[in-house]
Structure formats: structure tokens, C-alpha cells
A and B are shown apart, each in its own frame.
Chain A
Amino acid sequence: MKKLLAAVFALAALSNAAYADTIKIGVVGPFSGPFALQGKNFKAGIDAWLSLNGKTVGKDEIAIVYRDLPQADPARSKSLAQELVVREGVQYLAGFYFTPDAMAATALLQQGNVPMVVMNAATSAIVASSPLVVRTSFTTWQTTTPIAQVAKDQGVTKAITLVSDYGPGIDAENAFKTGFEKAGGKVVETIRMPLSTNDFAPLMQRIKDSGAEGLFTFLPSGPPTLAFVKAYNDNGLKAAGIKFYATGDLTQESDLPALGESALGLQTTYHYAVSHESPENKTFVAAAERAIGNPAELSFPAVSAFDGMYVISKMIEATGGKQDAKAAVEAVKGLSWTSPRGPVTIDPDSRHITQNIYLREVAKDANGKYYNKELQTFEKQGDPGLAFVKK
């Protein structure tokens, strides 16, 4: 027993000594609980990057420290971030699936001298809350705005919006309304439904009664999307010719096998489809599928995590491994590269990612597998939602 203890201490001492040139990155995300699939995708994206680029940047070795935050919990997020910065000594914070979690942790960045790379949380205001935040995911405004144009182009003049009643849902409603009215359409009704809704039949009836030609909807990815799409088909909205528009959250790849036939033909706009045709994406998907184990589980958070790792590697290169949050963020402002999702740039003013948004349609490939087929590209989309953030 004594020997074992001694060995443990020796090992601890050794690894402590190695910390001198190991740069730690703290990743906070939902790795257990109802959103574990999204956390798994964070990890898959990060592992894919490490397997393709190696664990060293310049002379420094990077180590990832994961912290589990199963559900949106700002207080816990803050304490986890603090623990990572103070006890683990991480130089970079990354991850963050939910907006409140990211918001709570931004308060620590300045004092901790730590930049944050947001790999999912999609509310415009996050980048405005601290100059040390960089985001490689998307915002709901960014992915929603193009679909309003699509709806108008397809001849819809009267639309109805139906969104989950929480931050991103309200963002989506405002974005669609703004975009659709700018294009000359009219939103006849806006309905907000509780997040916990299971039975969508009465809402479908109300949409039918409203006389709208098109329905825009936003639901967070997860179990309710299945019941929602089924309700849309079963209550005769599809048969009545009411067109369906949504953001890609509704048809994320990991939900498609369950949605199946009923999702065929649904049009969504999003920043990334696993099926995106490009050599960069092929390499990424191959590596990420290996990392996640089951290819059917791969979906959008993986690509944001992958790109987040790229941004962090550039930060480490620029600062030579020294902890200097301001210089690190400064170095990636205006950074452009080809991501698996297409050409992207970190906007120097907002530090949010400028990227292509794609119009996709759910289709079936030769092997009977459902996928998001890209139809149209909206190039270099910034975040229109920033204009509405209260300063």
C-alpha cells in the first residue's frame, strides 16, 4: 500500500513538473443528462481536431480538461469556470452549450486573464458581454434570417410563426418577422408555446385556422421535434399546402433517423450539414465519426468545437504559450479559414463567426439514409441580431 501511495505521489509530482509547458483548455458542456448527446458532439469535434493536428501547438502541449454541466445552470457554470481557472490553471475556457451558462462565466474572464471560445450558445448578446469572448458556432438570428427570404421567394405572403417560449425561440420569432416583413410579407400571427409542450395537435389546428400560407417554427433539437413534425403531417397541414420553414435545429442529423419519412421535404436553414460537400468536411467527418463511435450521433456542435479548437490553436501560436487573454483575442480578430462548413471569418468587431448559411431539404440517399441536402447558399452571413442587443 505504501509503495502504491508513493508511486501515486511520484506520478503526481512528475505530471506537475510537466505542467510548465502544458497549456490547459477547460471545456464546459453537457456530458451527462438529457443533453449528453450535444456534449458528446463537443468532445467528438475536439478529439477530431486533436487526431488531425496532433496534441502540440508549436512547442507547447495542449491538454483538455472537461467539466460536466448537464443542464442550463448559470451559478454552477460560473463555479465550474472558476474552479477551472483557479485550481486547474486553464488558459482557455471553451464549450458552453446554453446561453445562461456562457453569460455567467464571462464575468470571470477579465480577472482570470482567460479568453472564452463559445462552441454553441447562440444568443447574440454573449459576445457583447465581454471583449474576451470569441464564438465559433452561430446565432439564432444568423440562421433564421435567410429562411424569411426563402419563404417570400417561394410565394408565401402570409406567414405564421410558432416558437418555443424561451430566449432562442423569441430570437427566432423576431428574426423571422423582421426578415419576412422586410421582404414584403406579412406575419399574421405569432404564437409562443411552452417548452414542455408534448401535444401539438391543438396548435396545428390553430395554424390551419389562421389562414397563413407558410409556417415558421423554432424548437430546440430534442424529443419534441418528433411529435411536432408528426403533428404537422397528421393534422393535414402538409396536405393543405401550408409550407414548413424552420432552422436546422429541428432536423439535426442525430434526430433524422427517428423523424424518418415524415421529415422528407422539410426546408431548413443552418450553418452546417454533416453531408456538406467539401474535401475539408470529408476529412472532418471521417475523424469525428471515429471519435464519436456511432456515426448516426454526429451533429452540428461537433463542427463548432472543431473550429473552436482551430481558433484556440491560433491564439496559442500568437501568444507563444504565454497567458495573455487580450493578445490572444486580438490575434484571431479577422482570422479567415476554410472550415468543414465552408469559408468562415471571425468578425473583428463582434468576434462572432461570419459564415455561409445553407438552405437544406431533408432527402433520402441511395442507401435509404436521411440527410440534409443543401439547395442554396447565403454567403458571408454576419449576425443581424447584434443590432438589437441592448448596450
Chain B
Amino acid sequence: MQTVLSIAVDALAYGMVLFVISIGLSVTMGLMRVVNLAHGAFAMIGGYFASYAARDLGLGYGPAILIAIIGTVIIAIPVERFLYRRIYGAPELTQVLMTIGITFCVIGITNYAFGPTLKTVPLPPALQGSVDLGFRTIATHRIFAIACGLAVAGGLWFLIERTSFGIRIRAAVDNAPMTAALGVRTEVVYAVSFAVAIALAAFGGVIGAELLPLEPYYALRYMVTFLVVVSVGGAGSIGGALIACLLLGTIDTTARYLAPEYGEFFFYLAVILIVTLFPRGLAGRLK
């Protein structure tokens, strides 16, 4: 029983970290129909901003997260205006080539500017150390990550389902020319949703830095994991991504506890099964 509880706690924590990092990609791929392979690069930029603010400028964790989000969005705006706007609606291959190119540029620039060594985001005392849950101890930071994941899921759901901006996003996704004809400025809608996706990436990069350490190759190293979450959950679905993260987190954690020598066999087996049974992801809409 203890083992089961213990695995459940780890699975929840890992799943929520995955969720925070991947949900931004789900938004760009599902709502904006851009296969954004540079998602990890933006998460990394956020992490580096936070690391620089907290380590070199000596600011607190909260301000560091804010600087990371704002800084990354500021960098992303010209990128969206001059690069991404050309590939909205373009064939997937064009999008993949463009965004992977951006990824390599970001890796090179980061390596040049910050060097190849690992960077960390120092945690405030309140998030350091661990908490005793009775049957086991867990890092305080993990509990914080779980809370952040839930907050992000709730906030996004509210934004998309309950606000007038959300209505415009959904309209633009379903039929952009018609939405534009009705007087909605779709390019503004796209720019704002892109900014939200980037902000989420940066936030995830900072929150997840304890688990996925920051270094220039961060942008490529975890790309497969992000893409898996989105394809299993169904692009653009918040609930789907949440379920996918918890499911994959559970499978990965259980396999790692009980049979680590099988590596990621069970993880990818599950991915293959789910994608075979639900080609559009767990919550994807059939076309």
C-alpha cells in the first residue's frame, strides 16, 4: 500500500511538471496549428532569464519568474511578427523546418552568451528541503509544481472557455476567414495566443528547472517528451493534456520503480497504444 501511495505521489508530481512545460506547445499546435519545435527553446530562454535574475542579480524567486515570462515574451514578439506569421497555415514540413532552425539558432546563441555549463534557478528557503508526508518525504518544490500545474490548468480553461477572448480564439481556430469577416482582428488574436503560449513555456522552464536542468541543449533534449504529451493528449485540449501528463507520469514512474532495467519501454509502449487507439489524442476532436 505504501509503495502504491509513494508511486502515486511521484507520478502526480512528475506529471504536473510535464504539464506545465508542455501545455504551451499544446496551445500553439492545437489552437494556432503551428508545429512549434522551438517550444523547448522558449522554455529554455525563460529558464536562463530566471537563472540570471536570481543568481547574478540576486532577485527573489517570484520576481525571477516574472522577469522570465516578460523577458521571453518580449523576445518572442518580433520572432512572431517576422518569422511565425509567415508560416501560419503553411504545410507542416515548412513549419518544422522553420522552427527547428530557430531552435538551433537559440542553442548556438545561448552557448555563446552563457557558456555550456549547467545553470540553476536558486529556490527561496520556503521551497527548499522536503516535507514529510507520513509515509515518505517529498521535495517541497514538487508540491509547489503540483500547485502551479493545477493553477495553470484552471486559468487556461477559464480563459478559453469563459472569456470573450476565448470565444474569439475558438472562432479563429475553427474558421479564420469567417471570423475575420465578422470584424475580429485575427492577427491580434494569434499574436496574443502566441504570447500566452510562450509565457507558459517560460513559466514551465523555470518551474521545471529542478527536474530538467538548464543548459544550451535543453531546447532539443526534451523536445520528444513535449511532443509525446501533446500527441497523446490531443493538441489544443487542456483536459487532454492534463490526463495525458498524469497517465504518462504514472506509467513512467511505476515502470521506473518496478522495472528500471526496461528503460522507457513501457512509456513508449503506452504511447504507441494510445496513439493507435486515439489517432487524434485522448481528447482530440475528430475531423
Contacts and interface: CB of A to CB of B under 8 A. Distances in A.
Interface of A: 33-34, 36-37, 40, 165, 191-194, 196-199, 201-203, 205-206, 208-209, 222-224, 226-227, 230-231, 233-236, 239, 254-255, 257-258, 260, 294, 296-297
Interface of B: 3, 6-7, 10, 13-14, 17, 111, 115-120, 129-130, 132, 136-142, 210-213, 215-218, 221-222, 225, 252-254, 256-257, 260-261, 263-264
Contacts of B115: 294, 297
Q: Considering residues B139, B254, B256, which has the most beta carbons from chain A within 10 angstroms of its beta carbon?
A: B256
A239 B211 contact: no
A258 B211 contact: no
Q: Which 8 interchain pairs have the tightest Cβ spacing?
A: A234-B139, A236-B137, A194-B263, A258-B118, A202-B257, A37-B116, A34-B217, A223-B213
Given A234-B129, A258-B118, A33 B252 contact: no
Given A191-B261, A194-B260, A202 B116 contact: no
A201 B13 contact: yes
A196 B137 CA distance: 24
A223 B263 CA distance: 18
Contacts of A223: 118, 212-213, 215, 218, 221
B119 A258 contact: yes
B117 A37 contact: yes
A196 B222 CA distance: 9
Contact of A199 (B137, B140, B211): B211
A183 B266 CA distance: 38
Contacts of B221: 34, 223
Contact of B256 (A33, A193, A258): A193
A197 B255 CA distance: 12
B1 to A, nearest CB: 13
Contacts of B264: 194, 196
B213 A297 contact: no
A206 B257 contact: yes
B256 A199 contact: yes
A199 to B, nearest CB: 5
Contact of B253 (A194, A202, A222): A202
B146 to A, nearest CB: 13
9 contacts: A165-B263, A192-B261, A198-B211, A199-B14, A201-B10, A202-B253, A202-B254, A227-B210, A233-B130
B108 to A, nearest CB: 9
Given A37-B117, A209-B3, A236-B137, A165 B252 contact: no
B106 to A, nearest CB: 14
Nearest to A206: B257
A233 B138 CA distance: 10
B257 A234 contact: no
Nearest to A192: B261
A294 B6 CA distance: 43
A188 B278 CA distance: 43
A260 B117 CA distance: 13
B10 A258 contact: no
B194 to A, nearest CB: 27
Contact of B6 (A165, A205, A239): A205
B103 to A, nearest CB: 14
Contacts of A205: 6-7, 10, 136, 257
A31 B161 CA distance: 49
B213 A227 contact: yes
A36 B139 contact: no
A226 B120 contact: yes
Contacts of A296: 117
Given A191-B260, A196-B264, A236 B136 contact: yes
B136 A297 contact: no
Contacts of A191: 260-261
Contacts of B14: 199, 201
Contacts of A40: 116
Contacts of A226: 118, 120, 213
A278 B16 CA distance: 50
